[in-house]
Structure 1
Amino acid sequence: MTVVRKRTILKADSIPRLPAHVRLVFNEKRDSWVVLAPEKILWPDDISVVILKNCDGTRSIGEIAEALSKDFSAPCPEILGDVLEFLQDWSDRLLIRPAGGNGGPQ
């Protein structure tokens, strides 16, 4: 039996969160952030950490991009595209999920 998983497409109004099986923690020995997931350890770069810290299930991707555009003095449409691309990749790997079921399967 083959199980077909439908891909969730994230949009600017999707509200991202880390699922219960994924944790973002600070590793004191290495003085850096690490993402822990079943059978995976990821060492995200500084920008990825900033994005992931904002994935708390309360703000939309658009709101996150708007805040980051102010923090980094960059155009919001450019930041939004980068954030969407990053989070879509993580969603495809089941490391990010939309809260409340927004962002639909494709």
Structure 2
Amino acid sequence: MTAAARMDLSACPKVAALYRLQYEEVQKSWVLLYPEGMVKLNASAGEIMSRLDGQRPVSEIIARLERDFNTGNLSEDVLDFLAIAQNQGWVKA
């Protein structure tokens, strides 16, 4: 499997059509459901994925995460995760 190119900060990613993102109260985590099963996301991945609506650019998603979690310098981590998620087919830009 080849690595996906980094997503541009102006891209407006969304969860791919094959997947449905939902919060599972029993597991206390975000999951991606698809016909063959489920992917349980860690807390960081869930926070990023829950903000992908196809309307907001990556730059805004990063800014909101930094604001919501009162931190900075999340760009590299978010872009790295989005590259993985895109490579897995979970996300479309």
What RMSD over aligned residues (CA atoms) do the two structures have, in Å?
A: 1.9
**Equivalent residue for 1:82, pick from 66, 74, 77:** 77
| CA separation of 1:70 and 1:28: change in aligned 2, threshold 3 A | closer
- The separation in 2 between residues aligned to 1:95 and 1:48, in whole angstroms, is 11
Which residue of 2 is the match for residue 15 of structure 1? 12
Q: Is the 8 A contact 2:16 2:90 kept in 1?
A: yes
Q: Secondary structure at the match of 1:36?
A: strand
Report percent identity of matched pairs: 28
CA shift, 1:87, in A, is: 0.7
Q: Is the 8 A contact 1:12 1:80 kept in 2?
A: no
- The separation in 1 between residues aligned to 2:80 and 2:26, in whole angstroms, is 31
**Which segments of 5 or more consecutive residues in structure 1 lack a partner in the other structure?**
1-6, 99-106
CA shift, 1:33, in A, is: 2.3
Q: Is the 8 A contact 2:14 2:54 kept in 1?
A: yes
| CA separation of 1:28 and 1:68: change in aligned 2, threshold 3 A | closer
Query: Is the radius of gyration larger for structure 1 or structure 2?
Result: 1
Could you state the TM-score of these two structures normalised by the residue count of structure 1? 0.75
- The separation in 1 between residues aligned to 2:25 and 2:67, in whole angstroms, is 29
Q: Secondary structure at the match of 1:42?
A: strand
- The separation in 1 between residues aligned to 2:85 and 2:37, in whole angstroms, is 13
| CA separation of 1:29 and 1:73: change in aligned 2, threshold 3 A | closer
Could you state the TM-score of these two structures normalised by the residue count of structure 2? 0.84
**Equivalent residue for 2:65, pick from 57, 63, 68:** 68
4+ residue runs over 4 A deviation: none
